[in-house]
Amino acid sequence: MSIHDFIYTFVSAFVALFPVTNPISSGFIINGFISDLNDDQRKIVIKKIIINCLVIGIGSLLIGRLILLIFNLAIPVVQLAGGILICKTGLEWLSDTSSSKDDTKEDAINKINLEEIEKKIFYPISFPISLGPGSISVILTLIASSTVKDNLLATSINYVLIALVIVALCVILYLFLTGGQRMMKKIGKSGNLVINKMVAFFTFCIGLQIMVTGISKIFHLNIL
């Protein structure tokens, strides 16, 4: 394989993964999640989210197909289950009726929020919101298309290139998360509330679409 083939693999993987991962919209959703944390707490949470996303993405690349084979799972089933989880998360956000916070109680509330966020860093923030079943299914597809028969070196290089794409997407998510707080402060509490509800609705819609995609593939329907 030539250098052009490897460049094509990298570009193809990025183009395939970016729409389903969508680190910009994911970052917007997560910023709504962590808008009440102070700067130090945000840094801790963002670092853990990025590490989780890297572990999920690279782990899917390394052992994804093996897990599917061991448990005899089909990608559409993974999409259906992941879509249900995302829908559940969106509904929870929509039904959240938390009232405004008093400034005198800000420190105590920050601690409570941090404890709540800590419980949700892996699920649902890292998975399935940041890197979900759609992303994993694309990674598994890229693995199949990047495997070169009887050429372990070329296959390994292709896998490394896919891993670099996953890292690049995590970097984009990190940049958006670290810069999102300034935007949230300009919008204000009322603006944040409106945005959070809109994001919750769109999160539910994203989960519904992933779920419908899984159903359409399972039952061979042309729904979308």
d(CA 224, CA 218): 13
pLDDT for 166 equals 96
Peptide bond into 128 cis (omega under 30): yes
* Closest-CA residue to 206 (of 91, 120, 113, 37): 91
Q: Is residue 224 part of a domain?
A: no
How many domains does the structure of the chain reveal? 1
* pLDDT at residue 106, rounded to an integer: 46
Q: Is residue 139 part of a domain?
A: yes
Q: What string of DSSP letters covers 93-109?
A: HHT--PPP--GGGHHHH
Measuring CA to CA, which residue among 182, 203, 198, 207 is closest to residue 26?
A: 203
Torsion sign over Cα 53, 55, 56, 62: positive
Q: Is residue 49 part of a domain?
A: yes
Domain hosting residue 123, numbered range: 3-218
Cβ proximity of 23 and 135 under 8 Å: no
Domain assignment present for 223: no
Q: How many CA atoms lie within 13 A of 91 on its CB side?
A: 8
Residue-by-residue pLDDT tens, the chain, 224 positions: 678 888 988 998 898 888 788 888 788 788 878 877 888 889 999 999 999 999 999 999 988 778 877 888 787 888 788 778 778 877 887 886 654 444 444 454 455 577 888 888 998 899 988 998 878 888 887 887 787 778 889 889 999 999 999 999 999 999 989 887 777 677 767 776 777 787 778 778 877 887 888 899 889 888 76
